[in-house]
A and B are shown apart, each in its own frame.
Chain A
């Protein structure tokens, strides 16, 4: 394994690294050849891949199950004895029946993430119509028609069971062949495992919110910055952070300090392996089933063509790298033309660890694992600050900070883009300055250019024209930040990915392959601010946590726009159950559909929802330790 560099962090002891990178199962795959007629299922089984269940009737059983990812035995909340749970392969048009048996000592549930189904099948205790969870010893039978195709997943919606292994993949094979060809497909399910009890993690965060952050600013770094920037520059840059008592190193709440990151249940030391034959087209179905971790994914040496997100086809876009938020899915096509192995490298957003897989023509061929990038540092723009307020000096500092964060500025001779919004004049629409948005849009097609200028116009597909207003409930001890001037930052690849010399997918790239299913203009708008107090570890929407909130009411059949404003310094993946989130990326004709939408720190984002599903639905941040507070019930009636 290649050397790992931890900038701004003292060397981690060997035992520590071994602990978080997990165990190697042993040379199980040595010497195994690839039979010419081996099916993907057979291959995946041969290499300890995901167990796959097919058909329309399934028996799934929750049991406490011994696992060992780190050298220590732990009890996982496993479904059918595995972490991840079995891959369920359904057919569009079938009605599936799933008997879910609970052999745990506590209540459980399964939520079919991204599936459009009746409320009473959605599996959220106390929210879904009539569903109160599955009691210990009981079996609950789900049955619903499958009306869509693509890559999805399922997980427990009870307690913190998702953290302890209760997640699995779903593939729905389409009736109509997909608009692209592939020779084989693999699920690449990313997750974060901790040996700690999730309740302990939650309590630790409540007691000391930066408990897991071992990338805090050190005196040495401060000295270095003063040396580089001078006192004036240093104060201009640091003043805001110090006055707000916030850390620009605050990227992830829970980190590789406790997490071992997994690909298809394999530790980094072990690595998951997928086989291919040279010249094949492989469809990789990425699913982020983590509790708390965003991953930045790339396959050095291979271009990835993103063909679907959250199960829905998009206009193909070729990238080097993409960020996958918790609960999102991306389907990418790769075409390895050489007889060589490739690393599927997924580094945690805070660079506190990574997970990996290998695509290889032969199990004996392995690929180099790249080094992790430098740990990212948040900028003023990530705090939703109006950059016109900043003098030139402090903007330069932002650039300086970014250069520091990259560690290797020599690789990036031109910083002309300056991290998208940092150098950009305020109040611009996302794409008025194409030359500024080098992060994601090196080659922009004309349609994008033409339409994007209209972002913020209020028309369907272009986001809201409303002024951002913070509600009275956003003021108080439970809220530590309100974004001054949140912008649509669709073409911003996000902190840690800006100007990294690679073509990184952004939301601005997402265009539905098909025409917008519901072309109506929104009848009304709902503003929701994602709010919290990091140091007290409290999370809410509009300053009101779920326990104190009234449900959001939607009228059956209405088309509504939801504007999300992120008044925190973390990315939040927001998941609306039961209905699609039609993400407004600047093209009314081809609005992409998602089930989980990432809202970047200090940014805003808008999507349209057609309220076509009666009943009660969950609507929440999918970060497990945020969702208890940052949660709403949605009622469609």
Chain B
């Protein structure tokens, strides 16, 4: 339902100018698979599929972000965000929409307010506030950097942190800084659109989140070696 509203908003903003030479601002569709990787640690080998599809014009787009994690063919985590993305700055897009965590019980829906873009010194940022019906507020900050080792070898560190406004024992979430993820991936761009990579990914839980995890007998920190493919078209 909310998605339909978003699409309607989007369609309204995409006025269609026709011009003799051609359309300067065509509708561009891009599927970006940022991470399609297997993570290696002990016996668990989760597969992560993360990226987005964007459809739209220069300044206004519809964006579907996905983050799916499977272990042994079973989906552990599936988070989808359906967003209207509007350029508000040369390098920043404001995004509003909904997020659904499909593997929680019950499914949890969040309002999304975020900014995605490039910060000075070339940090690729994706920050969002998520608010659910229980007035839980989740702030997520993601920053990524790309070091060109050569024109084809790219070393990319990435950091992500989640903050929550209050404890949620059912979900095992504690208030404040809850968890972080630091990754370092080295990819080789066979072509721009296709790059296999290897790397490491380190996750850590903090505070009450860590306590809840410990109580459930889970680790509070994991280190994975990863191997995967980055692709877009």
Contact = CB atoms under 8 A, between A and B. Distances in A.
A631 B91 contact: no
Contacts of A160: 22
Interface in B1-48: 17, 19-26, 28, 30
Given A203-B28, A207-B30, A547 B91 contact: no
Contact of A547 (B24, B30, B150): B24
A477 B90 contact: yes
Interface stretch (B114-122, B130-138, B162-170, B207-215): B114-122
Kindly state the interface size class of chain A when it binds its partner.
35 or more
Contacts of A627: 21
Interface string A193-220: 0000000001110111001001111111
Contact of A219 (B17, B20, B149, B192): B149
A52 interface: no
B148 A127 contact: no
B24 A10 contact: no
B22 A10 contact: no
B21 A219 contact: no
B152 interface: yes
Residue in B19, B120, B147 whose Cβ sees the most chain A Cβ within 10 Å: B19
B149 A124 contact: no
Given A218-B150, A533-B90, A203 B21 contact: no
B122 A242 contact: yes
A628 B149 contact: no
Contacts of B91: 245, 480, 535
Contacts of B71: none
Interface string B141-173: 000000111111001000000000000000000
Kindly state the interface size class of chain B when it binds its partner.
20 to 34
A9 B151 contact: yes
A125 interface: yes
A159 interface: yes
Contact of B59 (A159, A215, A478, A547): A478
B194 interface: no
Interface in B83-99: 87-92
A627 B22 CA distance: 10
Contact of B118 (A203, A245, A538): A245
Interface in A95-145: 124-127, 133
Contact of B148 (A211, A217, A244, A547): A217
B58 A10 contact: no
A472 to B, nearest CB: 16
Residue in B22, B26, B121 whose Cβ sees the most chain A Cβ within 10 Å: B22
A214 B147 CA distance: 14
A243 B91 CA distance: 11
Given A536-B58, A545-B25, A477 B121 contact: no
Interface string A148-178: 0000000001111000000000000000000
Given A126-B19, A547-B25, A631-B21, A10 B90 contact: no
B232 interface: yes
Residue in B21, B23, B120, B152 whose Cβ sees the most chain A Cβ within 10 Å: B21
Contacts of A244: 120
Contacts of B58: 206, 478, 536-538
Interface in B191-207: 192
A546 B24 contact: yes
Contact of A477 (B19, B22, B25, B59): B59
Contacts of A216: 148, 151
Contacts of B30: 207
B41 to A, nearest CB: 29
Interface in A533-564: 533, 535-539, 545-548
A122 B58 CA distance: 31
Contact of A203 (B26, B89, B152): B26
A168 to B, nearest CB: 20
Interface string A459-493: 00000000000000000111110000000000000
B21 A242 contact: no
- Nearest first, the 9 A-B pairs at minimum CB distance are A126-B20, A628-B24, A547-B17, A477-B87, A125-B20, A480-B90, A629-B24, A243-B120, A242-B121
Interface of A: 9-10, 124-127, 133, 157-160, 202-204, 206-208, 211, 214-220, 242-245, 476-480, 533, 535-539, 545-548, 627-629, 631
19 contacts: A126-B19, A127-B20, A157-B20, A159-B21, A160-B22, A206-B26, A206-B28, A207-B232, A215-B151, A219-B149, A219-B155, A245-B122, A480-B91, A535-B91, A537-B58, A546-B19, A547-B17, A628-B23, A628-B24
Given A207-B30, A478-B58, 12 more contacts: A10-B152, A125-B20, A202-B26, A203-B28, A206-B58, A218-B150, A245-B118, A536-B90, A537-B58, A545-B24, A628-B23, A628-B24
